[in-house]
Each structure stands twice: as structure tokens, then as C-alpha cells.
Amino acid sequence: MIYTVTFNPALDYVVRVEQLITGHVNRTTSEEIYYGGKGINVSVLLQTLGLDSVALGFIAGFTGEEIEKGVKAQGIQTDFIRLPEGISRINLKIKSESETEINANGPSITESAITDLFEKLDKLVAGDTLVLAGSIPSTLPDNIYEQIMERLYKKDIRFVVDATNDLLKNVLKYKPFLIKPNNHELGEMFGVTLETEDDIIRYAYELQNMGARNVLISMASEGAILIDENNMVHRMGVPSGKVVNSVGAGDSMVAGFLAGYMKTGEYSEALRLGTASGSATAFSPGLGSKELIETLLQKL
Ligand SMILES: Nc1ncnc2c1ncn2[C@@H]1O[C@H](COP(=O)(O)OP(=O)(O)O)[C@@H](O)[C@H]1O
Ligand SMILES: O=P(O)(O)OC[C@H]1O[C@](O)(COP(=O)(O)O)[C@@H](O)[C@@H]1O
């Protein structure tokens, strides 16, 4: 079974503003709400591609209840832990001449809630896949993903980690199957600005040397670069299309990659389905549909 963990689920409130002017009252031309958070998006896209998963994580308050209801309504099995205080985040995504995002910190996660999560994760068995995705509230230590992987390391579980900075760096020694920072996050992790593809490949190899098996660097409209565990470098551009809302494109790419690998055992196919899934989401108001993913796949 595939399990996704979202420490910090969110309602993504996507608003369009013709011209955003800071320091003024701005009026929207449209608004939509989506059930988000990185692990949840991965579960939704996996479902779209015909793979079941269980969505784990922490929810709080009325927003948390809404997230749980919305995710379940999409046919996804959930096993969230309810926090005693606070509310799950509402992340603001402003579409204007450019995309501006305000991602909230999220509710505090209590020690007993962490213990509950560890108990759920202890039930995973060899052959399961665990996707750890997204930020954690600032009240938690940034070795929390590391603690989880340390606990499960000997069980032959396939780990996928979509996180940044120390949260990601700290887990590399446990040899995650896949990590997917974007090119900006890759640069930030090493305190450098990456100008060329050669630079990106060099630092992606650095992450592989630190332990990651497959390193996928996404580059939005520029596509992605994969260094697979056999040391092969794969490069893929994007299909043509009109960008509607790229929130969740990275999560869709992670889900598509995983589904592509599980179906074919080939990294080149995993990258193709990952790309088609990421672009399908970028070209849709919410996450990409099966039909659009299949159409885009034919173009790659
Ligand atoms: N503007 C875009 N046009 C076409 N495809 C896109 C666009 N933005 C994202 N994608 C697809 O989604 C993938 C992940 O997007 P990216 O924005 O790099 O991830 P993240 O959301 O994690 O920053 C890209 O590699 C690409 O395949
Ligand atoms: O946990 P973080 O890093 O704050 O990110 C949460 C946000 O990321 C998303 O999962 C989208 O992520 P991507 O655009 O990277 O795929 C949103 O649904 C959510 O609001």
C-alpha cells in the first residue's frame, strides 16, 4: 500500500486579481477552493491514475474537518489525527500578472499526536511506499522526517520525500527512493544560484552522493531533470498548453513518477508520466484529470 503523510494539510484558496497592488484593497475576479497540502495532492493524483493510497497527517478545527470530508469524497482512504487546538491552514494563492502564494504556518502538533502517528506508521510492512511531503509547522523540529525514517529504515519501505532544506537534507542518509526539489529549492539547499543545466546536474549529483537514490529536479515550464539510481541523466521538456494554475504541479509530478515507475519499472517512463501529470495540473484549475494526463502523455 502507498501511504502519504501531510503534516500540514491546507485549504488552498485560489483567487484571481487583475492587477495586484500591495498596500491597497484588491478585488477578485474569481475564487476557488481546493483540498491541498503536498501529501494530499499526491494521494488525489495517485487516485486519478488508478492507484490507491491512504492519506495520513494532522488536521484541526473546522478547516480540518472540511479537508477530511473533501478528500474522502474523492474516494481516498484517510486516517488523519485530530489536533486538540487550532485550525488547519488556509493557504492563499493569488493569480495576477504573476503567482503569489501565502502559505500559513499551521496548528501546533502535540507530542501525543506525534506518538499516534508513529503508532500508525509502525504498522507499515515491507514493500509499502511512504510519501513524506510538505512543510511542517515551526513548532516541530526539522528532523521529524528523519525520526520517522530512522524508525522504519530496516523494514524495506520505499520512501519518497518532497521537502526542502534541512527537513530534506536530514533524511538523505536513509536512502529515499525519490526526492523532488525544484531548481530554486536545490540552489537554496546549497546557498547558490543555479544558472545553467550543468549547475543543476552537478548539485543534483551532490544530493545523490548524500544518499538519495533518484533525484528529480523540477523546473516548472522548463521541464525536469532526473538523475536515476543507475547514474543516467534524463531530461524532459513540457508539452504545449495554457497555464491555468500551477499549484500542485510538483505534487502531481511526484505522483505521476511513482505511478509510472510502479507500472513499468522504467525511470524514463516514470519521468514521462510525472511530466504529463505535472503539466496537466499546471493546465487545469485544480489538479489534472486522467483524460488530460493521457492526452499530454502522447505528446511526450
Ligand atoms: N508552466 C508550466 N508549463 C508546463 N508544465 C509545467 C508548468 N509548471 C509546472 N509544470 C510541470 O510540472 C512539473 C513540476 O512543476 P514545478 O513548478 O517545477 O514544481 P513545484 O510545484 O514543486 O515547484 C514541471 O517539471 C512540469 O513538468
Ligand atoms: O507544505 P508547504 O510547503 O507549505 O506547501 C503547501 C502547499 O503546497 C501545495 O501542496 C502545492 O505544492 P506544489 O505546487 O509544490 O505541488 C499546496 O496544495 C499547498 O498549499
In order along its 300 residues, the chain shows pLDDT tens digits of 999 999 999 999 999 999 999 999 999 999 999 999 999 999 999 999 999 999 999 999 999 999 999 999 999 999 999 999 999 999 999 999 988 999 999 999 999 999 999 999 999 999 999 999 999 888 888 889 999 999 999 999 999 999 989 899 999 999 999 999 999 999 999 999 998 999 999 999 999 999 999 999 999 999 999 999 999 999 999 999 999 989 999 999 999 999 999 999 999 999 999 999 999 999 999 999 999 999 999 999
- Cα–Cα separations (whole angstroms), residue 105 to 100, 127, 134, 137, 251: 16, 33, 12, 5, 19
> Residue 203 has which C-alpha cell?
548539485
Number of Cβ within 10 Å of residue 256's Cβ equals 30
* 10-16 vs 89-95, strand pairing mode: parallel
What is the model's pLDDT at position 141? 85
Clarify whether 251 is annotated catalytic.
Answer: yes
What is the model's pLDDT at position 194? 92
**Cβ 108 under 6 angstroms from ligand 2:** no
Which CATH number describes the domain made up of 177-300?
A: 3.40.1190.20
What is the model's pLDDT at position 137? 84
C-alpha 86 – ligand 1 centre gap (Å): 32
Give the ligand whose atoms come closest to the C-alpha of residue 38.
Answer: 2
- Cα–Cα separations (whole angstroms), residue 34 to 39, 149, 195, 295: 14, 29, 34, 24
Which CATH number describes the domain made up of 1-162?
A: 3.40.1190.20
Closest CA relative to residue 136, chosen from 101, 175, 163: 163
> Residue 98 has which C-alpha cell?
504573476
What is the model's pLDDT at position 93? 94
Which long-range contacts does 288-296 make (Cβ < 8 Å, 24+ apart)?
288/45, 288/48, 288/252, 289/48, 290/48, 290/49, 290/50, 293/48, 293/49, 293/256, 296/239, 296/241
Q: CA-CA distance, 229 to 170, in Å (whole number)?
A: 19
What is the model's pLDDT at position 138? 83
- Cα–Cα separations (whole angstroms), residue 11 to 15, 68, 71: 12, 11, 11
How large is the greatest C-alpha to C-alpha distance in the chain, in angstroms?
A: 55
Each residue of 261-285: pLDDT tens digit? 999 999 999 999 999 999 999 999 9
Cα distance between the two ends of the chain: 29
Number of Cβ within 10 Å of residue 118's Cβ equals 13
**Cβ 253 under 6 angstroms from ligand 1:** yes
What is the model's pLDDT at position 269? 97
**Which residue type, as a one-letter code, is found at position 223?**
G
What is the model's pLDDT at position 215? 98
Give the ligand whose atoms come closest to the C-alpha of residue 274.
Answer: 1
Give me the phi and psi of 77, to 5 degrees please.
Answer: -75, 130
Q: With b meaning 16 or more CB within 10 Å and e meaning fewer, what string describes 9-24?
A: bbbbbbbebeeeeeee
DSSP bridge partners of 33: 13
Tell me which residue has cell 477552493.
33
Closest CA relative to residue 159, chosen from 297, 254, 279, 270: 254
Which atom number of ligand 2 is nearest to the Cα of residue 182? Answer: 15
Where does the chain hold its CATH 3.40.1190.20 domain(s)? 1-162, 177-300
DSSP bridge partners of 130: 3, 159
DSSP bridge partners of 161: 132, 179
Query: Is residue 8 left, alpha or beta, with left meaning phi > 0 and alpha meaning psi from -120 to 50?
Result: beta
**Cβ 37 under 6 angstroms from ligand 2:** yes
**Cβ 6 under 6 angstroms from ligand 2:** no
What is the model's pLDDT at position 116? 97
What is the model's pLDDT at position 110? 93
Report whether 182 contacts 158 (CB < 8 A). no
Look up the ipTM and state it.
0.96
Q: With b meaning 16 or more CB within 10 Å and e meaning fewer, what string describes 71-101?
A: beeeebebebbebeebbbbbbbbbbeeeeee
